[in-house]
Structure 1
């Protein structure tokens, strides 16, 4: 499908299945709730770095909906080889978090902002351990976009993860509870093609699923030790 054919009619509404999540994003609700942390720069001294990530969902119904993920470059100093949503730090020239998320997604995956409809932005999520606040931005396109690695240093590969069905984020065969050194570290999605999603990204994805009326990863899901190559 050509880029021109994929350009989104922004006068049209998003599909009904996204409505509950869209309403929350437009209100700027908190997507991932965390306990207060004294390291949070909002509560303490200093200024947090601002970042944004793009939650881009493609599809017209739950049974064909997919979300785009990327495997971070294996030579990066921070979190090499981990799976994340497209995104990054705010540049001085960025107008807002939406601009940051779209710019970073374009630089990393080739996503054309003209091909997506921005549906809203959730409240910034504190990451006190990184002295950072991350704003999740929600966007949509009716069909899966033709994306690919733009900078092989930053991104190893781009992956589309289905929300439902076999091999998806809700497939019980691919849902785990993460363990690191004997302690629980939240949901894990161990998807096909060695797509291992945990940590901050998995928490966001779980909240996206529940926001669409789908089940979270249950406490009774099989435990999975985080592989050493995904911990860095």
Structure 2
């Protein structure tokens, strides 16, 4: 299934894309759909022509799936929107951004100190509509063979930066750290309970699950244990 947006060509040179990322990179390069949302009761009856454009960066570091990691950040606890929740680096498009790729890289640099020249952008998936927020979010896929040194740039926006392993103990694919989330008893999709209280759910968890399956790893099973979203992670 293809998105309506034009494909984004890869940026930056460097080492050849590793085999474990090749299929996902092909999809990003062609602007394929990464996440298909189920209808949400918060969705308005009609879309809006005033939707804000945003982008998030899916930065994968590693030369093989056994050592690959994805960068996440814990949002500042003083923020008005989703304080304390874990997300991918990203944010809203600025007037000076050429495209969604530039938005994702700029936001990642502002939030984590990432040098855009340290990564190879592989492409951008189709924008994900979020009508209840009047927003469309484009996931941008990037890769680097070695994880760059990243850290909090603005403690108001970001509490901490963490790397989530794709495989192995304590990873995104470790059955001991995967759940089906509940919010007031209502299913809300996959949940990842990672080490150091890195609790990932909602929109970010849906993206991560689709990244895992795009690399040939298993999704969070419908039969996995459930977990009510903790109060401090649902604000």
User: TM-score category by the smaller chain?
Assistant: over 0.9
Report the counterpart of residue 60 of structure 1 in structure 2.
63
Q: Secondary structure of the equivalent of 2:57? A: strand
Of 28, 33, 51, 1:30 maps to 33
Give the Cα–Cα distance (whole angstroms) in 2 for the partners of residues 85 and 41 of structure 1: 26
Matched, 1:122 2:130: no
The answer on 1:197 being equivalent to 2:223 is no
Tell me, yes or no, if structure 1 residue 93 matches structure 2 residue 108.
no
| Count of matched residue positions in the alignment of Structure 1 and Structure 2 | 225
Report the TM-score, using the length of structure 1 for normalisation: 0.93
Would the aligned equivalents of 1:41 and 1:131 in 2 still touch at CA under 8 Å? no
Post-superposition CA distance 1:106-158 (Å, at most 9, x none): 00000000000000000000011111000000000001110000000000000
* 2:24 equivalent in structure 1: 21
Aligned match of 1:112 in 111, 115, 126? 115
CA distance in structure 1 between the aligned counterparts of 2:206 and 2:52, rounded to whole angstroms: 20
Matches of 2:207 and 2:80 in 1, distance apart?
23
Name stretches of at least 5 consecutive residues in structure 2 with no aligned partner: 1-10
Contact 1:38–1:44 (8 Å) recurs in 2? no
Q: 1:20 to 1:43 in 2, by over 3 A?
A: farther
Aligned to 1:54, the other structure's residue is in SS state: strand
**Aligned partners of 2:14 and 2:120 also within 8 Å:** no
